[in-house]
């Protein structure tokens, strides 16, 4: 894909070719081969100088219509650019014509080029990165895509979060900070998730885990629940000094008792799901001990109402 200031770029359903350079690094090759066998000379995008000698050379810009979530992403970018370049980057409201522009295209009035993202759920994580001597543009189809763009740029500048936790974060240092960008990005997998094995039960590592996911763009544009549940299965156990015994009953969607946990030892359990019971609300009743669900989404609540989302949340997510 070719871009020039004042030109037009339309982001369609397919991923385009992209070239990028970090800190004025040279491109790996001078040409690329098109599917029809024709050669296309690689053109390095113009670099933007971000900081020099401990001084920021341009501010981070958000639009007048930017959401709080987008503004938070811009503030994160400013903070990390400051740590990398040992400089103070400010966040200001602007029209998008110059500076380190962060947001959705509709947030700005005077972008130097036109960006249109295709609609639909498979494009909600799409974003573009552009640079010129006047600035850098991090533009996403949604707030989530804008966050991806921020962490992508920081990755290209050398930031790494190898594992959750401060000890596994790498923030580089650079006296001269510059970047050249021309990229159109979207995930190869639209639903991405990795998690600890039994490691999220106590809460102390939830925040480091969420930060690791965001910084590595290992999140989901939408929640994917597919197939049919054939069994409700998991692990039942005691909890020392709190629930020294296992008891209770599992009720299906019609209120029928399908498993009695009274008097059982710690161990696995599995209950077949009868026809017509899939996708409906089941219930644990008079329960002592611990239940860890494995074959169904672990959506447990004290009441049925706590499992429901407000209509405006569902409708907003659908848009």
Q: Answer yes or no: pTM beyond 0.75.
A: no
Distance (Å) of CA 167 to CA 150, 158, 162, 208, 216: 21, 16, 9, 11, 16
7 vs 160, higher pLDDT:
160
Instruction: Give the pLDDT score at 171.
Output: 98
Q: How many other CB atoms are there within 10 angstroms of residue 257's CB atom?
A: 10
Share of the chain above pLDDT 70, in %: 75
**pLDDT value of residue 124:** 92
Q: Which residues contact 136 (CB under 8 A, 6 or more apart)?
A: 48, 50, 58, 99, 100, 101, 129, 130, 153, 179, 181
57/33: higher pLDDT: 57
Q: Tell me, what's the pLDDT at 14?
A: 33
Please tell me the predicted confidence (pLDDT) of residue 204. 75
The structure tokens 């494995």 sit at 294
pLDDT of 179 reads 97
Would you state the pLDDT for residue 314? 56
Is the pLDDT at 119 greater than 50? The verdict is: yes
pLDDT for res 237: 83
Query: Does 7 have pLDDT greater than 60?
Result: no
Euclidean distance between CA atoms 153 and 72, whole angstroms = 16
User: Who's near 11: CB < 8 A, 6+ residues apart?
Assistant: 115, 116, 117, 118, 123, 126, 128, 141, 184
Q: Does residue 12 surpass a pLDDT of 60? A: no
pLDDT digits (tens, 9 = 90+) for 276-319: 888 788 888 888 888 888 777 666 677 766 666 556 555 665 55
Does domain 8-215 fall under CATH 3.80.10.10? My reply is no
- What's the pLDDT tens digit per position in 138-196? 999 999 999 999 999 999 999 999 999 999 999 999 999 999 999 999 999 888 878 77
pLDDT-based confidence at 25, cuts 50/70/90?
very low
* DSSP H helical ranges for 102-173: 143-156
What is the pLDDT, as a whole number, of residue 136? Answer: 98
Distance between terminal CA atoms of the chain? 28
Nearest CA-CA partner of 232 in 170, 167, 281, 164 = 281
Task: Please tell me the least confidently modeled range out of 29-43, 65-79, 147-161, 239-253.
Answer: 29-43
The lowest-confidence range among 23-32, 44-53, 307-316 is: 23-32
What is the dihedral angle through the alpha carbons of 91, 95, 99, 101, rounded to the nearest 10 degrees?
Answer: 70
Does residue 229 surpass a pLDDT of 90?
Answer: no
Domain definitions of the chain by residue range = 8-215, 231-318
Assign 32 a pLDDT band (cuts: 50, 70, 90): very low
Phi, psi (5° rounding) for residue 146?
-60, -45
Residues 6+ apart with CB under 8 A from 221: 121, 122, 124, 125, 144, 187, 190, 191
Cα–Cα separations (whole angstroms), residue 82 to 77, 87, 103, 171, 218: 8, 5, 19, 11, 25
**How does pLDDT run across 56-109, given as a tens digit for each residue?**
999 999 999 999 999 999 999 999 999 999 999 999 999 999 999 999 999 999
The pLDDT score that the predictor gives to residue 11 is: 36
Using CA atoms, how far residue 70 sits from 65, 103, 166, 170, 269, in Å, is: 10, 6, 24, 24, 45
């Amino acid at each position: 894909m070719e871009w020039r200031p004042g030109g037009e770029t339309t982001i369609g359903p397919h991923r385009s070719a992209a070239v990028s350079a970090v800190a004025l690094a040279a491109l790996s090759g001078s040409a690329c081969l098109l599917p029809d066998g024709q050669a296309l000379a690689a053109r390095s995008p113009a670099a933007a100088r971000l900081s020099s000698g401990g001084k920021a050379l341009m501010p981070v810009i958000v639009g007048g219509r930017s959401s709080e979530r987008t503004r938070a992403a811009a503030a994160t970018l400013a903070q990390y650019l400051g740590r990398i370049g040992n400089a103070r980057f400010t966040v200001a409201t602007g029209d998008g014509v110059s500076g380190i522009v962060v947001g959705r295209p509709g947030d700005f009035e005077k972008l130097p080029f036109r960006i249109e993202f295709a609609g639909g759920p498979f494009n909600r994580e799409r974003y573009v990165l552009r640079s010129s001597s006047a600035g850098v543009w991090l533009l996403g189809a949604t707030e989530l895509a804008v966050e991806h763009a921020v962490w992508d740029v920081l990755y290209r500048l050398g930031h790494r979060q190898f594992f959750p936790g401060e000890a596994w974060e790498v923030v580089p240092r650079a006296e001269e900070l510059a970047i050249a960008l021309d990229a159109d990005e979207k995930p190869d997998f639209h639903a991405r998730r990795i998690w600890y094995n039994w490691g999220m039960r106590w809460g102390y590592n939830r925040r480091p885990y969420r930060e690791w996911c965001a910084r590595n763009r290992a999140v989901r544009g939408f929640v994917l629940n597919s197939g049919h549940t054939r069994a409700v299965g998991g692990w039942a156990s005691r909890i020392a000094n709190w629930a020294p015994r296992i008891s209770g009953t599992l009720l299906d969607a019609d209120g029928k008792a399908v498993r009695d946990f009274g008097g059982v030892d710690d161990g696995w359990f599995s209950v077949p799901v009868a026809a017509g019971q899939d996708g409906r609300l089941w219930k644990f009743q008079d329960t002592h001990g611990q239940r860890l669900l494995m074959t169904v989404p672990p959506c447990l609540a004290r009441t049925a109402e706590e499992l429901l989302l407000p209509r405006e949340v569902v409708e907003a997510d659908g848009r």
